[in-house]
Structure 1
């Protein structure tokens, strides 16, 4: 085995806490003159989250709301820095074989879980072996074939195929490292339903859980192994974090501006001026990965006709809708890969301005497709059949970014071109089942990750949802050999320029074939009181952890 890559953990040093205003794309109110110059230890942060996670096990479902909480409870094997590079975390270094099929991780010593048990190679093996024993996990797609304990602090991981995004995957909360004692004593269903079993090595541990109401995190006073990507070392500053689940945006805003909450998740864009006028702070950061987009099913009518797919894209006034629903805070997405997604340059800037709203073009394309008649209600008709689009919606996410309002606005605007859009809500389980039937016409999605491979995989054959369940995220059911071939390059090559070229080829292919309509660049928008300091976002654009956060009063 050749030592292609070797990372050594430097001595952790205390560095200046990241200033709030340094968040990319961010904004904040004027700094409070009464804020101490150095972080203060102690206090309870009351944080209002948008929704309660449907599943607490990060390996089971790619849920943003559980990631934001698990990142304070679990450490990751490696840490991704703000520049997209990877640094040591629970692994102090790692080696990659020349063929890209063997990864050897050298682990940090002296790390203990919240239950007092030690972190070892054997425990890491239990965690990494889970997809081999639980085929319904979202992490089964990483290509892990087996693991081997070399010694107490060294684990060898063997892949069935090269996976250039493996290190990134291990840097995300999708791979929480559980206590081995917990994994041995509890079933996967118990891990999913009970966050009291979320026993990790992170800076906070779960102290209390009231289903449908709140999760309480308390500081892990034994924490001494923070990665260098953070702003300090040693235990967290806060004594406690009380996370309350408050789906209603206005209730969250009211709690913040009245001082009942210290921080709230996902401030609606139109409420940003209200929050700032109250003297509170608004922090914003664009996501990386995929935008919020519409995935079109090209396998059945009407989108089995390229002209109809392109007509739908031309019929949506994306800029106008974003201005109306979000006040222009969210920016239009031009591609299915977002700007800033690593490796740098993966987003093809030549696509900016390459397509847009053109109602005349949409009508011309529909007529070319044979939709030359219009019925009494204004909908296009072909061979006596109305141009109807079935749009199943996952009810769990309809209030994320006010997507219900945006979806209704899109449906209304499409009527101008003669499309009838039928939006049907489903709960998450039924939604997945519905997509696997293959009878829907379009579905909406977004996927935040800081690696270009994860912006391409939702359009690959391997990600098509299956009737037996699983984690298929190809909502348009696209099976295109050009995309599949490019993804093979992206997922296996360790050369950034090779991956970039393949990713840009995919972006053009998706737009040329009308497989998806990119809509907007999602943002993390957090509101805090002026007393909240040290808030930080990760490279993906999610709230990364409460570890560096402190209260000035």
Structure 2
């Protein structure tokens, strides 16, 4: 498969060096792909919305970029590449980001795309996007000196920002459609209008989406596909069958039971792609509600760490896919990852003593306390893992009731109602820990009602100070050192127990080519994808 080449010129942001990227051909020359045909993308659950301007929940990140584009895209090393911006530069002090936009780009309704759309979108993301509040925290203004120039002005450096501008993360929406409306409730979130390679056609609730080729796409001759159908298949067994029988061309995020993978690998015409998840970097974790008296006591959390064996979850629940992790960062983010963090050996006797000391002795029935365990309804890993956690805790007298619910109920329970004791969940580190990890531990991001924020209600002034310092540090080595220190404190404080990096695979039919051409993988636009026999 072709992959993005390095830009023609690029200097990395240092204390006194400007980062400048000129326009570049994103793919090397290759034989003309076949034109036409319909490809089918499989999702395990129906997304709640079709844009990510105000909601990143669940599978919305897979559908939004087909229609709504960002300023930049990224190669497999997360180096920025041109998209709606053809050139960009960052000032030596890291406070000014200048983007020169493509000329002649049209919204799907025929209106011209301009810098006013960029300014509106970025300012809106800062206000309503779950992560945009943090990503654009230091944004002061977006200047638009002309229709094809957008200048982001910051009060403090944001060294992660140049990697935060992908279509799924920072979508650029049409100002003329959204201005003056409640963005999160705008009907365009359900029938989007964008600049992307595909136009939205229909949404049959509970069944599928249909996207059609945008014949006026700015990056001709792409896209190559005439039509893209997105099917929702909630049943895991049915997903496996649909893939095996050739009904599906692309199935991202390991959408089948892990126990089925070996069988599917033997099926003619099916292949697997491990790349294309560099932008997400998911981990599984156990998050404690520190507002609960039981979990306020560090000895209780330490006891749980001595009982719950991440290797059992990796090898038995995940079938060996992924990697056990001692802290909050996925090993794929190699420069940030610390594999030598403190761990808690599995020791039931030590756990019993800690629970006794915390004031939770066994009762006459052998039970110390009864609590609830909620798991995120996403694949088989979480319900099966929760059952293991329940059984493991029972050995030390903790009676955990496993609760299941749909996704909307789960997020409301955890982040709005705060009606939970502890949860087994997945979270994305994303492309930089300041964006993907800080949100989970920064006390200022404890925001009831905001999904995927600081659900534990964790607060440590030293961690806050380190997080805030790392968010503006332009010295790359110093910033890595700050994150190493953050990780060390987190494994001592244990607001969560990190378990494993998520096994992320795209299962695809060999008839489709060039679906994964950079770090965003199938969550990119699919503009380059084509059917070998259209």
Closer/same/farther in 2, CA of residues 494 and 64 from structure 1, 3 Å limit: farther
- Matching residue of 1:296: 288
Cα offset for 1:440?
A: 3.5
1:309 equivalent in structure 2? 301
- The aligned counterpart of 1:407 is 386
Task: Name the CA distance, whole Å, in 1 between partners of 2:237 and 2:431.
Answer: 31
Deviation per CA, 1:67-86, whole angstroms, max 9, x where unpaired?
A: 11122222211222211222
The equivalent residue for 1:452 is: 433
Distance 2:337 2:418 in 1: 30
Shift of 1:538: 4.6
Which residue does the alignment assign to 1:277? Answer: 266
Consecutive unaligned residues of structure 1, counting only runs of 5 or more, are: 17-36, 226-232, 381-385
Corresponding position: 1:366 with 2:343: no
Deviation at 1:290, TM superposition (A): 5.2
* Whole-angstrom distance in 2 between the partners of 1:379 and 1:359: 15
1:336 is aligned to 328
CA distance in 1, matches of 2:180, 2:203: 20
Q: How many Å separate the matches in 2 of 1:192 and 1:521?
A: 36
The answer to whether the 8 Å contact 2:442/2:467 transfers is yes
- 3-state SS of paired residue (2:401): strand
The answer on 1:166 being equivalent to 2:161 is: yes
The answer (yes or no) to whether the contact 1:392–1:431 under 8 Å persists in 2 is: no
1:240-291 superposed Cα distances (whole Å, 9 cap, x missing partner): 1111111111111111212223333422211112212322223335665451
1:389-538 alignment runs, 5 A limit = 389-393=371-375, 397-425=376-404, 428=408, 431-432=411-412, 434-436=414-416, 440-443=420-423, 444-453=425-434, 454-466=436-448, 469-471=449-451, 473-536=453-516, 538=518
* Counterparts in 2 of 1:532 and 1:87: CA distance versus 1, 3 Å: closer
**Structure 1 residues 448 and 536: CA distance shift in structure 2, 3 A:** farther
| Count of aligned pairs between the two proteins | 508
Match of 1:5 in 2: 19
SS of the equivalent of 2:437 reads helix
Distance 1:75 1:87 in 2: 13
Q: Confirm or deny: 8 A CA contact 1:275 1:282 kept in the other structure.
A: no
Q: Specify the alignment match of 1:547 in structure 2.
A: 527
- Preserved CA contact (<8 Å) 1:456 1:503: no
User: Tell me, what secondary structure is at the counterpart of 1:336?
Assistant: coil
Q: Does 1:379 align with 2:374?
A: no
Distance in 2 between residues matched to 1:42 and 1:186, nearest whole Å: 37
Measured after TM superposition, the shift of residue 551 of structure 1 is 1.7
Match of 1:179 in 2: 174
Match of 2:243 in 1: 256
Q: Given that residues 464 and 474 in structure 1 are in contact (C-alpha distance below 8 angstroms), is that contact kept between their aligned partners in structure 2?
A: yes
Q: Deviations over 1:311-363 (max 9, x none)?
A: 1011112222332223222322222011122xx41111323x84443323322
Match of 1:345 in 2: 335
Deviation per residue, 1:25-84 (Å, 9 max, x gap): xxxxxxxxxxxx863222111222111111223021222411111222222112222112
Cα distance change, pair 434–532 in 1 and its aligned pair in 2 (3 A): closer
1:345-383 CA-to-partner distances (Å, cap 9, x unmatched) read: 1111323x844433233223223333343441x322xxx
- Whole-angstrom distance in 2 between the partners of 1:253 and 1:424: 26
Q: Secondary structure at the match of 2:477?
A: helix
Q: Which residue of 2 aligns with 1:73?
A: 67
In structure 2, what is the Cα distance between the partners aligned to 1:429 and 1:413? Answer: 26
Out of 533-542 and 75-84, give the one that drifted further: 533-542
Q: How does 1:128-277 map to 2 (within 5 A)?
A: 128-131=122-125, 134-135=127-128, 138-141=131-134, 142-143=136-137, 144-184=139-179, 187-191=182-186, 194-196=189-191, 198-225=192-219, 234-265=221-252, 266-277=255-266
**Partner secondary structure for residue 458 of structure 2:** coil
- Note if contact 2:42-2:250 (Cα within 8 Å) is conserved in structure 1: yes
- What is the CA-CA distance between 1:521 and the residue it aligns to? 0.9
Residue aligning to 2:10: none
8 Å CA contact 2:411, 2:451 repeated in 1 = no
Instruction: Provide the TM-score with structure 2 as the length reference.
Output: 0.87
Task: Give the drift of 1:7.
Answer: 1.4
What secondary structure is seen at the aligned counterpart in 1 of 2:349?
helix
Distance 1:508 1:189, change over 3 A: closer
Separation in 1 of the partners of 2:518 and 2:258? 21
Q: Secondary structure at the match of 1:366?
A: helix
Aligned to 2:6: none
Q: Alpha-carbon deviations, 1:211-263, whole Å to 9, x = none?
A: 221111112232244xxxxxxx7312211111111111111111121222333
Distance 1:160 1:389, change over 3 A: farther
> Within 1, Cα distance between the matches of 2:484 and 2:46?
36
Distance 1:258 1:433 in 2: 38
* Structure 1 Cα separation of the partners of residues 179 and 461 of structure 2: 42
Indicate the residue corresponding to 1:23 in structure 2. Answer: none
Asked if 1 retains the 8 angstrom alpha-carbon contact of 2:19 and 2:92, the reply is no
Alpha-carbon deviation of 1:194? 4.6
Match of 1:383 in 2: none
**3-state SS of paired residue (1:389):** strand
Q: CA RMSD in A?
A: 2.7
1:327 matched to 2:319? The reply is yes
